[in-house]
Structure 1
Amino acid sequence: MNTEQAQQQVQLLTIDDDHAGQRIDNFLLTTLKGVPKSMIYRIVRKGEVRVNKKRIKPEYKLQMDDIVRVPPVRVAERDERKAPSAGLHRVSQLKDRIVYEDKFLIVLNKPAGIAVHGGSGVDYGVIEALRVLYPEQKFLELVHRLDKDTSGVLLIAKKRSALKHMHDQLRFKKMQKDYQALVRGAWQSHEKVIKAPLLKITLKSGERIVRVNKEGKPSETRFKILQRYDGCTLVQASPVTGRTHQIRVHCQYAGHPIACDDKYSEQKFDDSMRVLGLNRLFLHAAQLKFIHPDTDEYMTVQAPLDENLQQLLTKLKRV
């Protein structure tokens, strides 16, 4: 399939917790990178964009589990993009990182440094790469997301029914996500739950970050100490809500930023970790517990720490 053909497909996007409350026009501006604002308002006004099969106005606020129909859009800027080749090393290595697969789901141990989807200057991400690797698969959609620099368990649905089933679990908090993070300093034993509202803001530079702010969305993360080291702690972080950068900002808020977090960490601590060989954010989605969308079986899937993270831990002094 060439790039022009790829742009001629209708997309059906299910709204998750992180996009609920966002205006449809703003959602489309971020989803359709490179598409002029005038064109976005035109396709909304003409009824080509639909929510739950109904016409909407540009100021419509998205709700959890809304299904948004995004029409095919031709834009010269987008046509210049190259679809990922199945022969590319970065794309082909994803096949080796699949930890579980059946007719309904793919569970991937996502490598750090690759986005889950294209956009914001990124030509392609995990989902685009998987569509190249699975050309016969008519339906492939992300169940949830991970930050570009975060590694670990990522769920991809192979059927629309599976996607809806998994989104229902996320909505009703029936899915448990357990991350591992190496943070600065000695995490306090009594610090087991952090509830701090999170607000997305855009800096003058255009960079988007998240801050603890009373005007933000309610957010909760549960923490457990896995291992203490000299000058740092390996913790398990289990987010109850699913906000952007939630674990990273909650760790910073607690006074224990995650190692080599380019947005929220501390230079001196990061430098000490880089000397030991760490060259990426130490945040890894280690485990996911969920109900299988077909069998209703309670499943636990795990992704081992990448070798470079394991090697770093062997260099640290346990206390």
Structure 2
Amino acid sequence: MKINNPAVQVITISDDEAGQRIDNFLLARLKGVPKSMIYRIVRKGEVRVNKRRIKAEYKLAAGDLVRVPPVRIAEREVVPVSAKLDKVVALTNCILYEDDHLLILNKPSGTAVHGGSGLSFGVIEGLHALRPEARFLELVHRLDRDTSGVLLVAKKRSALRSLHEQLRMKGMQKDYLALVRGQWQSHCKVVQAPLLKNILHSGERIVRVSSEGKSSETRFKVEARYEFATLVKASPITGRTHQIRVHALHAGHPIAFDDRYGDREFDRQLLGTGLKRLFLHAAALHFEHPATGETVRIEAPMDGALRQCLQRLRRQTAQ
């Protein structure tokens, strides 16, 4: 255990850093510092911009001088991720596309997007090991640890701002493939159900449909039918935590091997297919390139476990 107690910093905001809120800037800058502490030092005026007090929602401008006070936190000794580790090297084979602005991965199931919560390794830590020269690598969106598929990472602050704006304006389309219990009814093309997130004492997030929750919408389309299951394409219009998983359950069709919202009997029916992971895969992402303005569509192939499961289900259904 070591104590991190840096000196006062005065940071000049670059063009690439402009436009973001001061609280988000500090969260990214002060890794490991709790959100509550970030908001406390802003509220007390210990963080200043151009020698003036500001609020957490203040948007930074190019040339702003940000005073960041010493922040004393206890942190665990972290062993640097070696680029020779199998998991890091494996990420190289997961890269679907890369240029000066973007890096797009086909994230494996079981890999977290960030280390933390007892995990020493995540996609971002792996990418920093693969790209030690990269000054900026930030997630544009997230995928649950057990969900595989397209994951978009920005390599420039300007790209992150552009892509976040597309998310806010619903200009980015995400298509997932999910294997669900039973026969999905063809007329059920949209699920609109407000979602409320609860965080348990253990830190686990559980989401449920509630009139007190945030409005949420997912569009569904049947892709293939099997004897006791359906493969559906799920396209979330909003981006709530666990949205597709909870909306599928709400429609009466939980997703295969979902350890929080699934059906154990359905999972047992699938044992003969060899499936042992959540069958939720981010199959495609459609957006506007932040630098060129061109339309980009990225598709991520399913892994061997998902393909084998569908092959065996097709054989069973054909018998």
TM-score, with structure 2 as normaliser = 0.82
Shift in alpha-carbon separation, 1:275–1:13, aligned structure 2, 3 A: farther
After TM superposition, give the deviation of residue 75 of structure 1 in Å. 3.2
Shift in alpha-carbon separation, 1:5–1:158, aligned structure 2, 3 A: farther
After TM superposition, give the deviation of residue 310 of structure 1 in Å. 0.1
Alpha-carbon separation, structure 2, partners of 1:207 and 1:47: 32
Alpha-carbon separation, structure 2, partners of 1:179 and 1:130: 24
Shift in alpha-carbon separation, 1:176–1:190, aligned structure 2, 3 A: same
Unaligned runs of 5+ in 1: 17-23
After TM superposition, give the deviation of residue 42 of structure 1 in Å. 4.3
After TM superposition, give the deviation of residue 14 of structure 1 in Å. 8.9
1:94 aligns with 2:91: yes
The CA deviation string for residues 171-198 of structure 1, in whole angstroms up to 9 with x for no partner, is 1001000000000000000000000000
What residue is the counterpart of 1:55 in the other structure?
54
1:252 aligns with 2:249: yes
After TM superposition, give the deviation of residue 145 of structure 1 in Å. 0.6
| SS state at 1:236 partner | strand
What residue is the counterpart of 1:76 in the other structure?
74
Alpha-carbon separation, structure 1, partners of 2:270 and 2:109: 17
After TM superposition, give the deviation of residue 139 of structure 1 in Å. 1.1
What residue is the counterpart of 1:178 in the other structure?
175
| SS state at 2:287 partner | strand
Alpha-carbon separation, structure 1, partners of 2:290 and 2:134: 18
AA aligned opposite 1:125? G
1:149 aligns with 2:146: yes
Alpha-carbon separation, structure 2, partners of 1:85 and 1:154: 22
Q: Which of these residues, 156, 161, 182, is aligned with residue 159 of structure 1?
A: 156
Shift in alpha-carbon separation, 1:180–1:165, aligned structure 2, 3 A: same
| SS state at 1:131 partner | helix
After TM superposition, give the deviation of residue 45 of structure 1 in Å. 2.3
Alpha-carbon separation, structure 2, partners of 1:14 and 1:318: 54
Bigger CA drift: 145-154 or 266-275? Answer: 266-275
| SS state at 2:292 partner | coil
What residue is the counterpart of 1:20 in the other structure?
none
Alpha-carbon separation, structure 2, partners of 1:112 and 1:14: 34
Q: Which of these residues, 119, 123, 128, is aligned with residue 122 of structure 1?
A: 119
Unaligned runs of 5+ in 2: none
Do the aligned residues in 1 keep the contact of 2:143 with 2:151 (CA within 8 Å)? yes
Shift in alpha-carbon separation, 1:33–1:161, aligned structure 2, 3 A: closer
Alpha-carbon separation, structure 1, partners of 2:117 and 2:264: 26
Alpha-carbon separation, structure 2, partners of 1:66 and 1:306: 42
Alpha-carbon separation, structure 2, partners of 1:49 and 1:216: 35
After TM superposition, give the deviation of residue 47 of structure 1 in Å. 3.2
| SS state at 2:75 partner | helix
Shift in alpha-carbon separation, 1:184–1:5, aligned structure 2, 3 A: farther
What residue is the counterpart of 1:211 in the other structure?
208
Alpha-carbon separation, structure 2, partners of 1:278 and 1:311: 8
After TM superposition, give the deviation of residue 54 of structure 1 in Å. 6.5
Alpha-carbon separation, structure 1, partners of 2:114 and 2:70: 18
Alpha-carbon separation, structure 2, partners of 1:94 and 1:231: 35
Do the aligned residues in 2 keep the contact of 1:107 with 1:153 (CA within 8 Å)? yes
1:306 aligns with 2:311: no
Identity %: 54
Alpha-carbon separation, structure 2, partners of 1:4 and 1:106: 31
AA aligned opposite 1:220? E
Do the aligned residues in 2 keep the contact of 1:83 with 1:124 (CA within 8 Å)? no
After TM superposition, give the deviation of residue 160 of structure 1 in Å. 1.0
1:202 aligns with 2:199: yes
Shift in alpha-carbon separation, 1:215–1:13, aligned structure 2, 3 A: farther
1:238 aligns with 2:235: yes
What residue is the counterpart of 2:262 in the other structure?
265
Query: Which structure: larger Rg?
Result: 2
Shift in alpha-carbon separation, 1:159–1:251, aligned structure 2, 3 A: same
What residue is the counterpart of 2:131 in the other structure?
134
Q: What is the number of residues matched between the two proteins? A: 297
Do the aligned residues in 1 keep the contact of 2:4 with 2:71 (CA within 8 Å)? no
After TM superposition, give the deviation of residue 151 of structure 1 in Å. 0.3
Alpha-carbon separation, structure 2, partners of 1:182 and 1:72: 50
Alpha-carbon separation, structure 2, partners of 1:44 and 1:310: 52
AA aligned opposite 2:132? P
Shift in alpha-carbon separation, 1:205–1:186, aligned structure 2, 3 A: same
